[in-house]
Each structure stands twice: as C-alpha cells, then as structure tokens.
Amino acid sequence: MTSASTILNVHTPTSSFAIVHSLTQDSLDDLCDKLSRKSGTGYTGQRVGAGWLKYAFNETIWNLDDDADYTIFVWRQQPASSDTASTSAALDHRETPTLHLHAPHAPLPTPPAYRNPAYYVFAARRDAPSPAHSAPRARSAKAKSRRTKASARAAAAAADDGVPTFRKEFEQFHGANGVRTVMGSIGPVPNVRMLLKAGYRHVYISRQFAQQHGFIPADAAPGHYGYGGLVNIGTWPITLTPSAGFSAHPNAPPPPAGGTTRQGKPKPTMVSVYLSEEPHFSVVLGRSFFEKRQIQTSSVDPTDVVCLDTGEKLECELVILKDGRGEIVTVT
C-alpha cells in the first residue's frame, strides 16, 4: 500500500465493508471498478455507476455520480491548508472517508429484514432528544418534563423507521387526494369505471379496452391503427350511473317537493371518442364531456359531482392508484 492510498468505509443497506483506494491517484472509474468487483455486497454481477454512490458532508447527503462530483469529494477530504505538497500526507491523517452504496432501482429492505444502521437512510436522527438535556430544574416542572420526553421519544421512534420524511408527506398528501371515478356504460359495454378529469381535452378509451370490446380491430397495433397522434374512433353513447341522493352544490337544482329519490333513467350522451395509451383507466372523461354535461364539482366534497344539464348527481368514488410495489401513481 502506498502512502497515497487510504481506506474508504462503504455502507450498503444490508452490510458494511472497507476498500483500499487512492484519492490522489485513482479516479471515479477506478473506484466504481473496485466496488463492482467486490464480493459479498449484494450487487454481484452489477456495474456500479451514476446514482449508486453518496457521501455525507456538513450533515447533508451528496451524490457521487461523475468526475466533477468526485473532484469535490476529494477536495472535501482535505484539511484547510494551502500547502498542496502535503495533500497526500494530510489525507492519511483525515478521518476515514465514508461512502454509501445502493443500486438506484433496487428497493430498500423493510422489516423484518436486516437494515444496516450505518447506512444513511437508516441512521438514527441527530436531532433526537437526549435524556441528559431533559432533567427538570424544579419539582413543578418534573411532570411536564416527563411528558415532553415521552412525546419526543414517541416522535423519534415514529420517524426512525427508515422512510424519509418527504416520502411520508408525499404519500400522505396523495393518499388523501384520490382521483374522481364514475361508473357507467360506453357503447354496448356496461359497468365501466371511468376517470373523470377536466385536465384531459377529449374522451379517451385505452387501446386494450378498445380491442377487447370491438371498438377497433383485434389486430390493431401502435403505428398501424394510429399512433401518429390522436385517433378518433367515432361517436359513442356514454351513460353514467346517477346517485340516489341530491347534490349540495350551490348551482345544482333543488330536489323536487316531497321527493326523496330521483325518477327516470339516466341520460346517454353522444360524444366523440379517441384512442389513447392510458394504462390505468379504460375510459377517461375529459373537458369535452364536462362541457357537454355541464359538470360541476365541489371543493368541499370531492365526490359531489352534478350534471347541470339534467340536474343528476353522479355516483362518484375517489380512487388512489398504486403500482405493483405499492408506490402511489399520480394521474396528472
């Protein structure tokens, strides 16, 4: 080992190890090669590259993706000194540099699987309360201090579950803000759940749904039956299932005198339908449908949807989409 070589501590979500690496003579590619060849890391046969490495500096986690990041990383390992001739010797006396290694597309381990507490995601929070700082100065403050310490410990335990705070806030926000869906029929197909969203311009049906129910030929494929832009597949009747109750929307018509339920069959609407590649919903009702039925929604109750052309309140449900890994899928 040369005097220019140093030891790098490496933490993964499931293990820790060390490698020999020269910060002054080796490059980022050399480092990635060593980590790719390292056995027992859980990433055997995979190439370490951009997005895999991070390091901590000034209580912040930084990426180590390219040569510019590596240059900054090496510079940050040097002590505050203007003597460039002593750089190698100074690096030898620095605290051992630490890297965090993880495949960017691989999921993090979840309990009861082992989680390495040295990996930055699972490390204990530095702002967790210390028992030494919570001793009461007077008897009157003792009960309050105990409550404060218990609350702080409970909050720290809830936060120290390996899930970043921003991720929890993201899931909490979208978990309380689903998308509006209604039930109805399109053409001859009954009981279809449809996305109701004014952010889309037209009414769309998915390619798979269109093939299954004969809206387009069964052998239609992208590039063959369209994918050179939107494809209009004609005008089709759409009938939505009305609610048994009445809307509280200020623009909705009042319920009839003495009536508790709405009479008559729901109204079909003829509208132009376009083919789309939307994978989440068979039918998407966009602004053209909103305008035709004069649909109004409520900011107080997201499920209160009324069609002003007939006064019908629609049977509406909020749906939260998740993929196969349990990740929330946002529909823009």
pLDDT digits (tens, 9 = 90+) for 280-307: 788 999 999 999 999 998 877 888 898 9
User: Which of these, 267, 246, 248, lies nearest to 257 by C-alpha position?
Assistant: 246
Q: What is the pLDDT of residue 12?
A: 94
State the span(s) of the chain assigned CATH 2.40.70.10: 179-253+264-319
Mean pLDDT of 34-44: 87
Kindly indicate the confidence band of residue 1, based on its pLDDT and cuts at 50, 70 and 90: very low
pLDDT surpassing 50 at residue 2: no
Q: What is the pLDDT of residue 135?
A: 45
CA 71, 75, 80: angle at the middle one, nearest 5? 165
- Please state the length of the chain: 332
Question: Distances from the Cα of 210 to the Cαs of 180, 221, 231, in angstroms?
Answer: 22, 11, 12
CATH of domain 179-253+264-319: 2.40.70.10
State the span(s) of the chain assigned CATH 3.10.20.90: 5-101
Kindly indicate the confidence band of residue 231, based on its pLDDT and cuts at 50, 70 and 90: confident
Q: What percent of the chain has pLDDT over 70?
A: 65
Q: What is the pLDDT of residue 11?
A: 93
Q: What is the pLDDT of residue 205?
A: 92
Q: What is the pLDDT of residue 257?
A: 57
Q: What is the pLDDT of residue 194?
A: 92
Peptide bond into 112 cis (omega under 30): yes
Q: What is the pLDDT of residue 31?
A: 92
Which tens digit of pLDDT belongs to each residue from 173-208?
554 557 889 999 999 999 999 999 888 899 999 888
Mean pLDDT of 41-47: 85
CB 258 within 8 A of CB 211: no
Q: What is the pLDDT of residue 270?
A: 94
Q: What is the pLDDT of residue 324?
A: 56
Kindly indicate the confidence band of residue 55, based on its pLDDT and cuts at 50, 70 and 90: very high
Kindly indicate the confidence band of residue 247, based on its pLDDT and cuts at 50, 70 and 90: low
Q: What is the pLDDT of residue 240?
A: 93
pLDDT surpassing 80 at residue 256: no
Class of domain 5-101: alpha beta
Q: Where is pLDDT greater, at 69 or 169? A: 69
pLDDT surpassing 60 at residue 23: yes
pLDDT surpassing 80 at residue 163: no
Query: Environment class of residue 191 by beta-carbon count within 10 Å: exposed (0-12), middle (13-18) or buried (19+)?
Result: exposed
Q: What is the pLDDT of residue 102?
A: 92
Q: What is the pLDDT of residue 301?
A: 82
Mean pLDDT of 231-245: 88
Q: What share of the chain is helix, strand, coil (3-state, %, to 5)?
A: 25, 25, 50
Token code pair at residue 325: 């890994």
pLDDT surpassing 50 at residue 74: yes
Q: What integer best gives the mean pLDDT of the chain?
A: 78
Q: In what order do the strands lie in the sheet with 312-313?
A: 295-297, 305-307, 312-313
Q: How far apart are CA 233 and CA 320, in angstroms?
A: 29
Kindly indicate the confidence band of residue 40, based on its pLDDT and cuts at 50, 70 and 90: confident
